[in-house]
Amino acid sequence: MSEPVLALDIGGTKIAAALVTGGHVGEVCRVATPASQGPEAVVAAAVAVAKEARGESRPVLVGIGSAGVIDSTNGVVTHATDALPGWAGTVLARGVSEGLGLAAYALNDVHAHALGEASFGAGRGLRDVLLVAVGTGVGGAVVHRGEVIFGAHAVAGHLGHIPASEAAGLPCTCGRVGHLEALASGPGLAAALRREGGSAQNGRDVVVQAGQLGAAGEAARAVLTLGGVALGRVIGGLVNTLDPDVVVLAGSVADAGLIWWEAVQDGVRQEAMDAVRGIPLVPAGAGAAAALLGAAHFAMTRHASTTVADDGQGL
């Protein structure tokens, strides 16, 4: 990425924008997501903060990482949660392109995060990278030879919706029951602690209490361990299936500390076959800008391939 690319990261609570040049992220501008005002307001806010980040520079493209299931071929949101009401059906890439006067390319935010980690972070230089993002939800993505595996319906990587025996009977955000996200996500950990008689509003509360003495601390540590083992067992199954070079753990819950990390590793050991039990689990390395890096990288590679196709070459 030798020429500047304008990158956007659109989430349910905030929108971030920055210029990305040669793998370097410039000053990041942020604005609250006007989710309750509808998709047109969200796109308008994204365009406005992108203009602020652009300043007087002249980027050549826009890369967008966004919450929701994104048809990256057409830049359209096909499905979304209630975090962004009405977001499904939004023609995202075209809306941003028209607002900025630049070609725009869009993909899911976790897919963008994985691409950023694989290209510039903990997976740099490796062929196959599995990203596992654990925060408000549990997401993931696979990057193979520098390209995200999107799947036939652009939903590849939704590992939070893999069944987990530890989550049996628990309601999931997708409307099903017994999925990993219902237990291993930040809200899932908090709910698990409340079921044990504790008090927690989010995953961070659980982590804080896990460092305390007494019954409250013991309960929080047990919840972190259960959620970590459940996540690790799912990762172990995925490692058996995908055989990646590395598993990168990202998201707010990945900062939970040694108890959680050891539990995840224990869960992986329970399920991973001997041939892949040694695959490293490492923390994310690209930082908070990973999704912006990935979105910019995706825009550059997709634009380059589109240009070649338009020239009648490489088909």
- List the CATH number of the domain containing 38: 3.30.420.40
The answer to whether position 119 is within a domain reads: no
Residues 160 and 294 in one domain: no
CB neighbours of 110 closer than 8 A, spacing ≥ 6?
131, 133, 139, 140, 141, 157
The answer to whether position 315 is within a domain reads: no
The answer to whether position 146 is within a domain reads: yes
The confidence score (pLDDT) of residue 313 equals 32
Residues 245 and 293 in one domain: no
The confidence score (pLDDT) of residue 307 equals 59
The answer to whether position 108 is within a domain reads: yes
Residues 100 and 244 in one domain: no
Number of H helices, E strands in the chain: 9, 13
Residues 130 and 261 in one domain: yes
Q: How many CB atoms sit inside 10 A of residue 87's CB?
A: 25
Query: Cα(315)–Cα(312) distance, rounded to whole angstroms?
Result: 7
| Structural domain range at position 15 | 5-113+288-310
| Span 60-103, pLDDT tens digits | 899 999 999 999 999 999 999 888 999 999 999 999 999 999 99
The answer to whether position 179 is within a domain reads: yes
Residues 265 and 165 in one domain: yes
Residues 142 and 218 in one domain: yes
- Measured torsion, CA atoms of residues 171, 173, 178, 179, in degrees rounded to the nearest 10: -160
| Span 48-63, pLDDT tens digits | 999 999 999 999 899 9
Residues 218 and 153 in one domain: yes
The confidence score (pLDDT) of residue 311 equals 46
Distance of CA 177 to the CA centre of its chain: 22
The confidence score (pLDDT) of residue 40 equals 97
Query: Cα(18)–Cα(4) distance, rounded to whole angstroms?
Result: 10
Residues 250 and 142 in one domain: yes
Residues 92 and 74 in one domain: yes
Residues 101 and 200 in one domain: no
Extract the residue ranges of the chain whose pLDDT is less than 50: 1, 308, 311-315
Residues 62 and 188 in one domain: no
- Edge-first strand listing for the sheet containing 128-134: 147-148, 138-144, 128-134, 246-250, 281-283
Query: Cα(161)–Cα(184) distance, rounded to whole angstroms?
Result: 11
The answer to whether position 120 is within a domain reads: no
CA dihedral for 23, 3, 95, 151, sign (positive or negative): negative
Residues 161 and 45 in one domain: no
The answer to whether position 118 is within a domain reads: no
Query: Cα(269)–Cα(150) distance, rounded to whole angstroms?
Result: 28
pTM for the predicted model, two decimal places: 0.92
Q: How many domains does the chain have?
A: 2
CA dihedral for 21, 25, 29, 32, sign (positive or negative): positive
The answer to whether position 141 is within a domain reads: yes
**Tokens describing residue 90:** 């939004």
